[in-house]
Amino acid sequence: MKVSLTPELHLELYYYMKLNRMLEEQMVRLFRQNKIVGGLYSSLGQEATSVGTAYALEARDWMAPMIRNIGALLVKGFRPRDIFTQHMARHTAPTLGKDGTSHFGDLKVRHVVSPISMLGDLIPVMTGIALAGRYLGQKIVAMTWIGDGGTSTGAFHEGMNLAAAQKAPFVCVVENNQWAYSTPVRCQVPLRNLADRAKAYGIPSYSVDGNDVLAVYRVAKEAVERARSGEGPILIESKTMRMRGHAQHDPAEYVPKEMFAYWKARDPIERYQKVLTENRMLDAKARAEIDARIERELKEDLEFAEDSPFPPPELAEQGVYCEGCHTIETIWERPIEEVLPPKSCVEPVWKVESFGGPDGAAPSGKRAAAAAVPGGGNHRRAQKTSRKAKPAKVPAPSKVRR
CATH of the domain at 65: 3.40.50.970
Does residue 281 lie within any of the structural domains? yes
Domain carrying residue 161: 7-317
Let me know: does 63 contact 57? Beta carbons within 8 Å: yes
Does residue 340 lie within any of the structural domains? no
Upper half-sphere CA count for residue 106 (Cβ side, 13 Å): 15
Strand 179-180 and strand 183-184: the pairing is antiparallel
Q: What is the pLDDT tens value at each position of the chain, 402 positions in all?
A: 566 899 999 999 999 999 999 999 999 999 999 999 988 999 999 999 999 999 999 999 999 999 999 999 999 999 999 999 999 999 999 999 999 899 999 999 999 999 999 999 999 999 999 999 999 999 999 999 999 999 999 999 999 999 999 999 999 999 999 999 999 999 999 999 999 999 999 999 999 999 999 999 999 999 999 999 999 999 999 999 999 999 999 999 999 999 999 999 999 999 999 999 999 999 999 999 999 999 999 999 999 999 999 999 999 998 888 877 777 888 999 999 999 999 999 888 887 778 778 876 555 555 544 444 444 444 444 444 444 445 555 445 444 343
* Number of domains forming the structure of the chain: 1
185-222 burial, b if ≥16 CB within 10 A, otherwise e? beeebeeeebbebbeebebbbbbbbbbbbbbbbbbbbb
End-to-end CA, the chain: 63
In angstroms, what CA-CA distances link 95 with 103, 161, 299, 319? 8, 33, 22, 10
Show which residues are catalytic: 242, 246, 254
Strand 62-64 and strand 142-147: the pairing is parallel
Does residue 102 lie within any of the structural domains? yes
Residue type, 177: N
Does residue 257 lie within any of the structural domains? yes
Does residue 361 lie within any of the structural domains? no
Q: Quote the pLDDT of residue 376.
A: 46
Q: Quote the pLDDT of residue 393.
A: 53
Upper half-sphere CA count for residue 159 (Cβ side, 13 Å): 30
Does residue 358 lie within any of the structural domains? no
Does residue 89 lie within any of the structural domains? yes
Q: Quote the pLDDT of residue 38.
A: 86
- Total-model pTM: 0.86
